[in-house]
Amino acid sequence: MDLDDILALAETTPSPLELARARRVARTVQSQHDLSLAEGYKIIVDTDLADPLTWDADEAVRVTRAAQLAKQGTVTWLPGDHDSERFERLSWSDEMAMIVGHAPGTLRLTPRTLADLVHPADVERVLAAVRTAWEQSRPDEIGFRVVQPGGSVRHVYCHLEILTDAGRPVGVIATGEDITALELARQEQRRLAVRSRMLGPDPAVRDVLTGLQTRGYVIDEVDRGRRTTGGALIVVATEPATRLPDALTDEDRDQVTAEIARTLRAVVGDGVTSGLVGSGSWGLLLAPRDDAGKAEALAARIVDKFRNHLFSVRQKPLRLNTSAGVVHFDNDIPDTGFDLLVDGEHAARDAHRNATAVKVLERPVAERERTDRCRRRIHRAVSANRFALYAQPIIDLGLNQVARHEILLRVRSDTGEPVAPWAFLDMAERVGEILAVDKWVIDHALELIGRGTQTSHYQVNISGKSLADPGLLAFVTGAIHRHHVKPECLTFEITETALIENRNEALAFATGIREVGCHLALDDFGTGYGALAQLKYLPVDLVKIDGAFIVDLCRSPADQAVVSALVELCHTLGIRVAAEYVQDQETLDLLRAAEVDFAQGYQIGRPEPITVSQEEVQSIELELRLPPQQTAMG
């Protein structure tokens, strides 16, 4: 079956349905007509009654008249003929004059004035279209903009047609109308289509690894709970019962985490707000408040399940020490979601310490007590050196070789297991103790760097909050001199998970640290508090685009747009650009194509315990042996 068959099939005598419709219309029309006669009013017919099929005007007149009826304007061009007495004629209808913003009859029309009415960017296209239509004797259509005398721009759409006389082309007639409103509607439609294509899911909702909600999401939900219904927060702390072998990679650890998440999901189902809220720390929210002991029962069930479940890592069985804390809370309490989470974690720790399965708090802990406990934890961690430093390679995409390392912090759990520090750092920032941690990192990182060959370039993190401390610059320069570090080998990354507290101090630190010879970078750019204004007033040398824009780069045109625009912006401002969380070769290629300067991620290299030189691998034990007076408690 092809088009001709379909056409043949479609071409039929009217169907019974069509005939019925016709009869109905005939009847209604007839009765309306009769009614008007009977009641003596006239139905006004505004169309001229000439038979269109016999109306014998020339083509230009007919087309113009038709355009008029459709409220469109026309321009007629008759080039004339040298052999006969006809001359070039250019004319337009009143409607067309009004479309381009002139009162009818006020403008003497020449090809020149006509071209001047068209938007300068469109003139060439319009002229070419007219010329081609005339030369090939073929109709065409074209959309363009006109500039009205006041300077306002309108969108016009024109049909170009060839006028013939006795079969010979004699001119061109353009029928046009103002389609500005339509054009705007179309543009809006296109914009909306692009917008919905570009709009990604909220990355804060689900964690890729665990399939559960993220820490930020859980905290927000708990916060919502304490403002509305009240409820109970369960925090389950899990910890390997035996120390994991050092050879374990991050991937193995991730697999354990994913397995725990699966087990947790199997116990509680998907309906409960739950997520990984810290390393080995799982939060679940039960709302509204319910005193029937549901939360306690669920916590006990989870602990029981985890304690009896045999997890595995690298085909070896693994048992988890598990305990849980439950915090009940009413609505309208002053404690935030974060506060409640901290209480839950503390309760879980207490349970572990007391060798019980679950510890229950009937209400949140007093603010003062909570903060003190957090501070004590941080101080104890700092003074006991319960940290380890790792280094992750960064590749220079221009040279295609590892040119830098970022110094990363790992916090030791109670068993001495180094774990990712994000929850710990978040807590330290929130209770205002991040400075002590930052100083520890700076001092120890610079010491390790100073002992090495200093062939690489090192990037060290400082929280935006710490910059408020007036003594920080002196501390850093002191450490640089003390450990004989080449300042040009150092970049300080300002992480902006918290707001830069004191703009003036931050600026003073930034300026001062660059005078020493170090570089300055903005970390996690684009998701935290880092505003574009900072690129203007902070003397930044490097911007690290947040991983949220990189992980899905290959599949997300929105991420690609953000990255390429950021690169262009930064390069214009004299700032280099780095991308983190690079997980595959395809992303790496895209970043290189986008002229990103540096890349970092599992594809390039995972964080490794710091190596001082090629031969000597700094072991965790060595760091543990550091004497306490070298710590940076200030």
Chain residues binding other proteins by CB under 8 A are: 1-3, 5-7, 9-12, 14-15, 18-19, 21-23, 25-26, 28-30, 32-33, 36, 43, 45, 47, 49, 51-55, 59, 62-63, 65-67, 69-71, 137-139, 141, 159, 161-164, 169, 173, 181-182, 185-186, 188-190, 193
Place of tokens 């690290």: 544
Q: Which two tokens stand for residue 415?
A: 């068993």
> Smaller CB distance to other proteins: residue 67 or 130?
67
Q: Considering the complex, what minimum distance in angstroms separates the CB of residue 460 from other proteins?
A: 52
Region of 80 on the Ramachandran plot (φ > 0 left; ψ -120 to 50 alpha; else beta): left
| Cβ count within 10 A of residue 387 | 21
CA angle 285, 286, 288 (to 5 degrees): 125
Decide if 434 contacts 630 (C-beta within 8 A): no
Residue among 26 and 384 whose Cβ is closer to other proteins: 26
In the complex, least distance from residue 22 CB atom to other proteins, rounded to whole angstroms: 3
Strands 576-579, 542-545: parallel, antiparallel or unpaired by DSSP? Answer: parallel
In whole angstroms, what separates CA 318 from the centre of its chain? Answer: 38
Closest separation in Å from C-beta 581 to other proteins: 35
| Burial 188-221, CB ≥16 within 10 A → b, else e | eeeeeeeeeeeeeeebeeebeebebbbbbbbbbb
Q: Min. distance of Cβ 561 from other proteins in angstroms?
A: 21
Cβ at position 45, least distance to other proteins in Å: 4
- Alpha-carbon distance of 55 to 49, in angstroms, equals 10
User: Smallest distance, Å, CB 96 to other proteins?
Assistant: 15
Question: How large is the greatest C-alpha to C-alpha distance in the chain, in angstroms?
Answer: 114
- Per-residue burial over 144-181, b = 16 or more CB atoms within 10 Å of its CB, e = otherwise: bbbbeeeeeebbbbbbbbbbeeeeebbbbbbbbbbbbe
* CA 57 – CA 46 distance, rounded (Å): 20
Q: How far is the CB of 148 from other proteins (least distance, A)?
A: 19
Distance CA 490, CA 623 (A): 21
Q: What are phi and psi of 491, to 5 degrees?
A: -125, 130
The answer to whether 380 and 346 are in contact (CB under 8 A) is no
Quick one: 301 exposed, middle or buried, by C-beta within 10 A (0-12, 13-18, 19+)?
middle
The least distance separating other proteins from the CB of residue 60, rounded to whole angstroms, comes to: 9
Our CB check for other proteins shows the closer of 30 and 152 to be 30
DSSP state of 245: P
CB of 105 to other proteins, least distance (A): 23
Of the pair 177, 523, the CB lying nearest other proteins is at 177
SS3 call for 404: strand
Residue closer to other proteins (CB basis): 69 or 532: 69
Residue with Cβ nearer other proteins (40 or 105):
40
Three-class secondary structure assignment of 46-73: CCCCCCCCCCCCCHHHHHHHHHHHCCCE
- Give the CA radius of gyration of the chain: 38
Residues 6 or more apart whose CB falls under 8 angstroms from that of 577 comprise 542, 543, 544, 545, 566, 567, 570, 571, 596, 597, 598
Find out whether 233 and 284 touch, Cβ atoms under 8 Å: yes
Q: Report the alpha-carbon distance of residue 51 to residue 48 in Å, rounded.
A: 9
CB of 178 to other proteins, least distance (A): 10
Task: Copy the structure tokens of residue 520.
Answer: 């300055």
Are 494 and 520 spatial neighbours (Cβ–Cβ below 8 Å)? yes
Q: Which is nearer to other proteins, 72 or 491 (CB)?
A: 72
Nearer to other proteins, 190 or 195 (CB): 190
* Cβ distance to other proteins smaller for residue 30 or 110: 30
CB closer to other proteins out of 140 and 541:
140
Distance of closest approach, residue 461 Cβ to other proteins, in angstroms: 48
Q: Given the complex with other proteins, which of 52 and 471 has the nearer CB atom?
A: 52
Minimum distance from residue 542 beta carbon to other proteins (Å)? 42
C-alpha distance from residue 582 to each of 95, 239, 252, 400, 600 (Å)? 60, 29, 19, 14, 6
Q: How far is the CB of 48 from other proteins (least distance, A)?
A: 9
- Shortest reach from residue 29's CB to other proteins, in Å: 5
For every residue of 510-560, DSSP letters joined together read HHHHHHHT-EEEEEEETTSS--HHHHHHS--SEEEE-GGGTTTTTT-HHHH
In terms of CB distance, is 28 or 400 closer to other proteins? 28
Nearer to other proteins, 138 or 316 (CB): 138
Query: What is the DSSP annotation of 125-147?
Result: HHHHHHHHHHHHT--EEEEEEEE
Q: Which is nearer to other proteins, 173 or 420 (CB)?
A: 173
Pick the closer one to other proteins by CB: 1 or 199: 1
Task: Kindly state the smallest distance separating residue 11's Cβ from other proteins, in Å.
Answer: 6
How far is 168 from 336, CA to CA, in rounded Å?
A: 85
Distance, in Å, from the CA atom of 23 to the CA atom of 596, rounded to the nearest integer, reads 72
Lookup: tokens for 192: 């909306």
Minimum CB separation of residue 79 from other proteins in Å reads 15
Which is nearest to 540 in space by CA: 510, 566, 516? 510
Nearer to other proteins, 140 or 220 (CB): 140
